[in-house]
Amino acid sequence: MNRLFKVLCVGGSDSGGGAGIQADLKAVSACGCYALTVITALTAQNTRGVQAIYPLPQKFIAAQLDAVLSDIGADALKTGMMLTADTVNTVVRKIVQYRLKNVVVDPVMIAKGGRMMMQETARRVLIKKLLPLTRVLTPNIPEAESLTQMKIRSIAAMKKAAAVIGDLGAENVVIKGGHLPGRRSLGGIDILFDGKRHYEFSADWIETRNTHGTGCTYASALACGLAQGKNILQAVEQVKTMVTQAIGNSLPLGKGHGPVNILGNL
């Protein structure tokens, strides 16, 4: 029997099924890995936005982490929505306690509908404590701007921002270019900085409003690649192809932004 690679996904639950833990479960399964989950918050949301957020108590988040890691373990860990500084601190403690490697951090800050998904104190703790434990950080452009306090309007600026974030402690940084001005003519370009060099990963632009869950899917699939032993270049190249296909197979659900569909790749 082939080894079963386990990926632990830490984040919020999306009642609309398009992002968060629900997107993680689909992405990890599509990559042939086994998904474990720790819920940090419950959200009431749909394709039009997030209507309510209920953060879970820290003791319960820690209990979930202990339950999974003390018994099953994980070959990679992916974080998504972490609303509060206490949540980030809890996750950091468990990463250190269980000596987890292949930590992929998707710094979820703002939902597509504009709802704040990470408090400012949580952002500061993420920078100070979580980034030094992170193998790959996967911000989109607005998130990269928040982390670097700089405007990003070009590929050159993306590269500069990736290096700045790398200096904050993350081993590798992937800035996703979906929000880049003029992106339709350039295509979808992501920038990887591995601490020494920059790499570009591009794909044709797909014209659709149904991109809900793109970031969650990207980070979870990337965690799978690392869990399976791929190097960072191999993992990012595979993910770029998978997520582009998932956007192409996206589902026109609801009245807002429908979800990407990574299961449509199979």
Rounded to the nearest 5°, which phi and psi values hold at 24? -60, -45
Cα-based torsion angle of the residue sequence 189, 180, 23, 55 in order, rounded to the nearest 10 degrees: 140
Give the C-alpha separation, 125 to 189, whole Å: 29
- Report residue 33 as tokens: 């890995």
pLDDT in tens, the chain (266 residues): 578 999 999 999 999 999 999 999 999 999 999 999 999 999 999 999 999 999 999 999 999 999 999 999 999 999 999 999 999 999 999 999 999 999 999 999 987 766 788 999 999 999 999 999 999 999 999 999 999 999 999 999 999 999 999 999 999 999 998 768 766 666 789 999 999 999 999 888 898 999 999 999 999 999 999 999 999 999 999 999 999 999 999 999 999 999 999 999 77
The residue annotated as part of the active site, out of 16, 20, 188, 215, is 215
- Confirm whether 67 is domain-assigned: yes
Q: Which residues pair with 176 in a beta bridge?
A: 140, 190
- Confirm whether 12 is domain-assigned: yes
The domain that holds 39 is classified in CATH as 3.40.1190.20
- Confirm whether 174 is domain-assigned: yes
The residue annotated as part of the active site, out of 148, 211, 217, 244, is 211
Rounded to the nearest 5°, which phi and psi values hold at 41? -160, 150
The residue annotated as part of the active site, out of 213, 225, 240, 244, is 213
Active site residue 215: yes
The residue annotated as part of the active site, out of 214, 217, 224, 258, is 214
- Confirm whether 62 is domain-assigned: yes
Active site residue 176: yes
- Confirm whether 1 is domain-assigned: no
- Confirm whether 153 is domain-assigned: yes
User: Which residues, 6+ apart, have CB-to-CB distance to 124 below 8 Å?
Assistant: 85
CB burial readout 147-171, b (16+ within 10 A) else e: bbeeebeebebbbbbbbbbbebebb
- Confirm whether 27 is domain-assigned: yes
- Confirm whether 104 is domain-assigned: yes
Number of structural domains (the chain) is 1
Rounded to the nearest 5°, which phi and psi values hold at 228? -80, 0
Q: Is the pTM of this model over 0.75?
A: yes
Give the C-alpha separation, 178 to 156, whole Å: 15
Domain that holds residue 66: 6-265
Closest by CA to 36, choosing from 3, 2, 1, 78, is: 78
Active site residue 216: yes
Active site residue 31: no
